[in-house]
Amino acid sequence: DGGITQSPKYLFRKEGQNVTLSCEQNLNHDAMYWYRQDPGQGLRLIYYSQIVNDFQKGDIAEGYSVSREKKESFPLTVTSAQKNPTAFYLCASTGGDTEAFFGQGTRLTVV
């Protein structure tokens, strides 16, 4: 079945650590996105990529990094520079139509 997969579902980070969230899609979509969602809030765009080997900062890119070496994969690294990383992270992709397909999310907690 086609879809978008995020892993892990839950992730714990110690202070000062970098962690990487995985996002894989088999929908053959060109565009991929990372959003952050805080409790009871909407989605804020972190980074997005329209094509392999290219990506752009969203509204809250500071403290995050991404790569897009393959069309299917768009991993997000939460660096130690992100001072408040505890949140729910959502990955999405879009094809020719702008309807977005979302993964099930990764809940990151700082311990």
Q: Which stretch binds another protein (CB under 8 A): 16-24, 45-53, 61-69, 72-80?
A: 45-53
The alpha carbons of the chain give a radius of gyration, in whole angstroms, of 13
Lay out the site mask for another protein across 11-30 (x = CB under 8 A, - = otherwise). Answer: --------------------
- Contact positions with another protein (CB under 8 A) in 53-72: 56, 58-59
CA–CA–CA angle 77, 78, 81 (5° rounding) = 130
Q: Is 84 in the site for another protein (CB under 8 A)?
A: no
If binding means CB under 8 A, how many residues of this protein chain bind another protein?
A: 29
Calculate the alpha carbon distances from 66 to 32, 56, 75, 96 in Å.
Answer: 11, 9, 6, 23
**What burial letters (b/e) apply to 81-104, b meaning 16+ CB within 10 Å?**
ebeebebebbbbbbeeeeebbebe
Binding another protein (rule: CB under 8 A), the pick from 43, 61, 67, 75 is 43
Nearer residue to another protein within complex by CB, 13 or 101: 101
Cβ count within 10 A of residue 11: 18
Q: Which residues of the chain form contacts with another protein (CB under 8 A)?
A: 6, 31, 33, 35, 40-45, 48, 50, 56, 58-59, 88, 90, 92, 94, 97-105, 107
